[in-house]
């Protein structure tokens, strides 16, 4: 008996006792979309009353209710008085306000050397006492102002200096760095609590999970050390499209339930439809909240272009924000459906401290409803997931048979149609996402029978239609939720 059936049976029992006809449902609270204002925002646009009012209006238009005000990034600090002004004005407008901190170029003596370097090359050496001193000071400064502070990606390090090499000894770089960053997390927590006992720093892990350990991230240990974590779901143009779903669902497990949400951006995203695809998958993966990085990109009056940074050349940031705005009502409905639901599917294990790419990410592209777990997954997957994206429905028949045997759900669809299955309050529902740039036909059924009813379609209701013959037609880059009735 699976969880769905156990729940249905117990609801029936309780309802029989109480004489009610349906299970009580909790009042759904509004889904939280957040946005961070990076140092450049604070120093420029948010440094005037008019700019702050423009930001407050933009947040309202985009249903953003939680703001992370950044105090430090790439060696540049926002004056404390300005941070207070921004915080207080945002709070007065009804926004929930916390901090953001990016530990890059912390050592004043190396800042000049780092000028012009890519963001990802400005990591710190955490055996450097000057870096640790500056870290303590900046953490305390942010903690004194905010009760929660999110750390942008760059807590990792690739330092191989003589001091780090000596401290490493015979250990591998991965093991040494994981121990080092875990200690840095503990240090951050201590410095924050000294300044403000109510303050929690949040470690936000990047999207590039395959290299976490090499760069010093131990997801479980770091989350535990700080008591809070987030995950990056920014798949952009080049990433595996369904990874946002997979990494969100995996991070929820790997952090031991401490993952507060998913964060994505519009960098290197040439198609606004791809931007909202990240939003949909983040929510389908079970993100408790979503953070849009960042106000400077999405809303600044002049989107910044830095010709030295190739990854910033694709500038459709305002178009991405507009695509999100058009879809946010639907995304809120999607989040309300997924909230509290149990993700089901083919259990595919990846330990919290694993390294290298995960097959489950590409398995999704063949319609395999992957459920990331930390252990006790399927023993093997007897197909080549690298061929799934371009496969026809006929090519994938054996894969879909294999899935049906394990989950009860039978899909018939070409590759790049992803399936995600859930159970909530004893009722099953499923999501189908069409990643293709063309319409696709699919069928979906469960072996226990029952009719599929479209509950929600994005970007608009008419993007997905269901024929009398059971055929589902999904428009290019669309998705739908179906209840099994
Ligand atoms: Zn070093």
pLDDT tens column, 328-339:
999 999 999 999
CA of 170 to the centre of ligand 1 (A): 16
pLDDT tens, residue by residue, 414-430? 999 999 999 999 999 99
Cis peptide preceding 419, ω within 30 of 0: no
What is the DSSP code (8-state) at residue 379?
Answer: S
CA of 181 relative to ligand 1 center, distance in Å: 12
Span 308-323, average pLDDT: 73
> In angstroms, what is the span from residue 163 Cα to ligand 1's centroid?
6
- Give the distance (Å) from ligand 1 centre to CA of residue 110: 12
Q: Return the beta strands (E) in 83-175 as ranges.
A: 96-101, 148-151
Tokens 């809070």 locate to 228
What pLDDT, on a 0 to 100 scale, did the predictor assign at position 28? 52
Provide the 8-state DSSP code for 4.
Answer: H
Contacts with 216 (C-beta within 8 Å, 6 or more apart), sequence order: 155, 156, 157, 174, 177, 178, 180, 181
The confidence score (pLDDT) of residue 312 equals 57
| pLDDT at position 4 | 57
Tell me the CA–centroid distance for residue 127 and ligand 1, in Å: 6
Going from the Cα of 157 to the center of ligand 1, the distance in angstroms, rounded, reads 8
In the reported structure, the alpha carbon of residue 438 is separated from the centroid of ligand 1 by a whole-number distance in angstroms of 50
Percentage of the chain lying above the pLDDT 90 cut: 82
Residue 258's pLDDT is 98
Going from the Cα of 247 to the center of ligand 1, the distance in angstroms, rounded, reads: 30
Q: If pLDDT is split at 50, 70 and 90, which confidence band does 16 have?
A: very low
Domain with CATH 3.20.20.80 in the chain: 32-338
Closest CA to 475 of 424, 422, 437: 437
Average pLDDT, integer, range 11-26: 39
* CA 151 to centroid of ligand 1, rounded, Å: 20
The pLDDT, as a whole number, for residue 237 is 87
- The overall average pLDDT reported for the chain is 91
**Exposure b/e, 461-474, CB count within 10 A at least 16 = b:** eebbebeeeeebeb
Distance 160 CA to ligand 1 centre (A): 5
CATH code: domain 343-484 is 2.60.40.1180
Nearest to 258 by CA among 227, 287, 233, 231: 227
Sequence-distant (≥ 6) Cβ neighbours of residue 119 within 8 angstroms: 74, 104, 154
Q: How far is the CA of 483 from the centre of ligand 1 (A)?
A: 54
CA of 116 to the centre of ligand 1 (A): 21
What is the Å distance from ligand 1's center to 226 Cα?
Answer: 23
Position of tokens 């995203």?
269
Average pLDDT of the segment spanning 69-79 = 95
If you measure from the C-alpha of residue 158 to the centroid of ligand 1, how many angstroms do you get, rounded to a whole number? 8
From the CA of 189, how far away is ligand 1's center (Å)?
22
CA distance linking residue 137 with residue 135, whole number of Å: 5
Q: Could you give the C-alpha distances from 81 to 91, 115, 295, in angstroms and in order?
A: 15, 26, 20
pLDDT band of residue 3 (cuts 50, 70, 90) is: very low
Spacing, Cα 167 to ligand 1 middle (Å): 9
Superfamily of domain 32-338: Glycosidases (3.20.20.80)
Does pLDDT of 362 surpass 50?
Answer: yes
CA-CA distance, 5 to 8, in Å (whole number)? 5
Contacts with 117 (C-beta within 8 Å, 6 or more apart), sequence order: none
DSSP codes of every residue in 258-327: -EEEEEEE-TT---HHHHHHHHHHHHHTT-SEEEEE-HHHHH-SS----TT-GGG----HHHHHHHHHHH
Q: Where in the chain is CATH 2.60.40.1180?
A: 343-484
Contacts of 107 (CB under 8 A, 6+ apart): 124, 125, 128, 130, 131, 134
User: Any alpha helices (H) in 339-463, and if so which ranges?
Assistant: 359-363, 397-407
pLDDT grade for 309, boundaries at 50, 70 and 90: low
pLDDT of residue 14: 41
Residue 398 confidence class, pLDDT cut points 50, 70, 90? very high
**CA 105 – ligand 1 centroid, Å:** 13
pLDDT number for residue 121: 74
- Angle subtended at Cα 337 by Cα 335 and Cα 340, rounded to the nearest 5 degrees: 90
d(CA 372, CA 360): 8
Q: How far is the CA of 159 from the centre of ligand 1 (A)?
A: 5
CA of 168 to the centre of ligand 1 (A): 10
Q: Which residues of 64-94 are buried (b: 16+ CB within 10 A; e: fewer)?
A: bbbbbbbbbbbbbbbeeeebebbbebbeebe
pLDDT digits (tens, 9 = 90+) for 96-117: 999 999 999 998 777 777 666 7
């Amino acid at each position: 008996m699976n969880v769905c059936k156990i729940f249905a049976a117990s609801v029936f029992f309780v309802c029989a006792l109480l004489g009610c006809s349906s299970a009580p449902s909790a009042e759904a609270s509004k889904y939280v979309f957040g946005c961070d204002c990076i140092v450049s925002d604070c120093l420029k646009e948010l440094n005037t009353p008019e700019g702050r009012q423009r930001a407050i209006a933009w947040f309202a238009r985009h249903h953003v209710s939680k703001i992370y005000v950044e105090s430090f990034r790439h060696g540049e600090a926002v004056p404390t008085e300005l941070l207070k002004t921004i915080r207080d004005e945002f709070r007065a407008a009804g926004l929930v306000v916390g901090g953001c901190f990016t530990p890059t170029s912390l050592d004043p003596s190396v800042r000049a050397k780092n000028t012009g370097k890519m963001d990802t090359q400005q990591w710190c050496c955490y055996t450097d006492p000057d870096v640790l001193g500056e870290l303590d000071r900046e953490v305390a400064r942010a903690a004194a102002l905010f009760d929660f502070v999110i750390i942008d990606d760059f807590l990792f390090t690739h330092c191989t200096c003589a001091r780090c090499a000596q401290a490493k000894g015979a250990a591998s770089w991965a093991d040494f760095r994981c121990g080092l960053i875990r200690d840095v997390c503990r240090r951050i927590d201590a410095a924050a609590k000294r300044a403000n006992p109510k303050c929690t720093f949040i470690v936000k892990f990047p999207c590039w999970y395959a290299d976490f350990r090499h760069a010093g991230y131990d997801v479980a240990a770091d989350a535990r050390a700080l008591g809070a974590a987030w995950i990056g779901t920014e798949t952009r143009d080049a990433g595996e499209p369904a990874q946002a779903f997979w990494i969100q669902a995996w991070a929820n497990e790997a952090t031991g339930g401490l993952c507060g949400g998913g964060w994505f951006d519009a960098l290197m995203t040439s198609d606004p439809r791809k931007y909202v695809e990240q939003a949909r998958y983040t929510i389908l993966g079970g993100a408790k909240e979503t953070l849009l990085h960042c106000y400077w990109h999405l809303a600044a009056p002049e989107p910044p272009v830095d010709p030295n940074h190739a990854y910033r050349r694709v500038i459709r940031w305002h178009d991405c924000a507009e695509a999100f705005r058009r879809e946010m009502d639907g995304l809120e409905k999607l989040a309300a459906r997924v909230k509290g639901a149990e993700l089901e599917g083919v259990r595919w294990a990846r330990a919290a401290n694993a390294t290298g790419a995960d097959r489950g990410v590409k398995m999704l592209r063949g319609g395999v409803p992957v459920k990331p777990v930390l252990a006790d997954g399927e023993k093997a997957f007897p197909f080549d997931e690298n061929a799934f994206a371009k496969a026809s429905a006929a090519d994938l028949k054996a894969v879909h048979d294999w899935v049906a045997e394990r989950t009860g759900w039978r899909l018939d669809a070409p590759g790049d149609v992803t399936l995600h299955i859930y159970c909530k309050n004893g009722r099953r529902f499923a999501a189908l996402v069409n990643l293709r740039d063309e319409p696709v036909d699919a069928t979906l059924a469960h072996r226990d029978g029952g009719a599929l009813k479209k509950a929600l379609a994005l970007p608009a209701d008419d993007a997905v239609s269901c024929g009398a013959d059971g055929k589902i037609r999904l428009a290019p880059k669309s998705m739908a939720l179906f209840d099994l009735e």
